[in-house]
Copies of this chain bind each other. A is one copy, B any other.
Amino acid sequence: MTDSVGVTTPQRLRFDAPLALSSGASIDQYELVYETYGRLNASRSNAVLVCHALNASHHVAGVSASDAKDIGWWDNMVGPGKPVDTDQFFVIGVNNLGSCFGSTGPMSPNPATGKPYGPDFPVVTVEDWVNAQARLADALGIERFAAVIGGSLGGMQALAWSTLFPDRLAHCVAIATAPRLSAQNIAFNEVARRAIVTDPDFHGGRFYDFDTLPARGLQVARMIGHITYLSDDTMAERFGRTLRRPAQDASPGNDYQFTFDVEFEIESYLRYQGEKFSRYFDANTYLLITRALDYFDPAREHGGDLAAALAPARCDFLLASFSTDWRFAPERSREIVAALLANRRRVTYAEIDAPHGHDAFLLDDSRYHALMRAYFDRIATGLAT
């Protein structure tokens, strides 16, 4: 693969200064796991930070050294010659605080008890993540990012960067995101959380002590997620009402099985995805990250005025949304665009006609990638060397 960053190995940094959290609590010490691709230039001006969404990690691109099947979640976007070109940029992927892929989170030992934090891990917000990421940037000697970039929940982090550290990024790239969740978004998160916390194997979040995990709850949570990530059209095209098994019933015109088992392809797909997810994702992390999603609402402290909330931002912006994304619909990106324009910021906005719903931000859509490539080429041209 000439366009891959190749084999990647995560790095780890320990932070011993307490981090004050939005909740009023603080976390005394923590570790962040990250990967980097490309080279930081002499003027340290070409760094790009990639923020991840709910279930992703620091492993943005390339092939994991420990697992040849573990390709980075945005490998189609980041690499040599790719839209975010690692021949031009020094790209950093970081696993957020509270996640379950190496950074300090609910599975990590609580220094106070020596046992996993579990439900005692403090509630973290998008702003808390950004503060932790800024410390990582300090440690890596990066004063100012060429761009901070993310999709969905990652886009919320990019937005928060623009207001919390206005002088520390030149460009904010926020894709398929929203200035806050709708009641319907929160409702889907709440159902997923209920499925997890009511699973008897959840044990109030202390399931590690019982050598089990709430697999059934996680499975249902993931199934709900999948339905909302995909567009109705994509589901219709990929699965339609196709039956999973050939007919065994001899009634004329009847090839249903009439059973409560898996009957339609879509059921089989969702169960498979749910089961896979339940084996690798931590339940407490799921609760934590969906809560961070729910809480994100920068306009709240400004009486709902998003332009006022975004007023501190100084960087340029690229926003993109996808026509069939009903979870973070184009209207939500337009709210952000309108607020930025009211602040006379430089904004590029693209509404991409793509069939794949919210998932589109992860996929290799030619119009989407052409947009990203053009924008990052422009950034590269303006870099101090």
Contacts and interface: CB of A to CB of B under 8 A. Distances in A.
Interface string A203-221: 0000000000000100110
Nearest to A205: B260
Nearest to A264: B186
5 contacts: A183-B266, A184-B227, A184-B232, A190-B266, A241-B300
Contact of A266 (B186, B240, B260, B271): B186
A241 B123 contact: no
A119 interface: yes
A166 to B, nearest CB: 19
B181 A241 contact: yes
A119 B260 CA distance: 9
Interface string A176-218: 0000111110111011011101111000000000000000100
Contact of A187 (B266, B287, B301): B266
Contacts of A370: none
Given A123-B259, A184-B232, 19 more contacts: A22-B254, A22-B258, A23-B249, A24-B258, A123-B258, A125-B258, A181-B241, A182-B236, A183-B240, A184-B236, A191-B270, A193-B260, A194-B216, A194-B220, A220-B220, A252-B301, A253-B300, A256-B295, A258-B295
A232 to B, nearest CB: 5
Nearest to A243: B300
What 8 pairs between A and B have smallest CB-CB spacing?
A: A253-B301, A23-B258, A198-B216, A183-B235, A123-B258, A191-B223, A183-B239, A190-B267
A31 interface: no
Contacts of A297: 241
Contacts of A25: 258
B264 A294 contact: yes
Number of copies of this protein chain within its complex: 2
B181 A194 contact: no
Contacts of A216: 194, 198-199
A260 B235 contact: no
A295 B255 CA distance: 11
A246 to B, nearest CB: 15
Nearest to A199: B216
Nearest to A238: B183
Contacts of A188: 227
Contacts of A295: 256, 258
Nearest to A192: B220
A381 interface: no
Interface string A247-285: 001011110101110011011001100100000000000
Which residue, of A183, A188, A251, A267, has the highest number of chain B Cβ atoms within 10 A? A183
Given A184-B227, A186-B266, A260 B123 contact: yes
The listed residue with most B CB atoms (<10 A of its CB), out of A123, A267, A294, is A267
Contacts of A258: 22-25, 123, 125, 291, 295
A224 interface: yes
A270 B189 CA distance: 11
A18 to B, nearest CB: 17
A241 B183 contact: yes
B186 A267 contact: yes
A194 B219 contact: yes
Contacts of A194: 216, 219-220, 223, 270-271, 274
A227 B180 contact: no
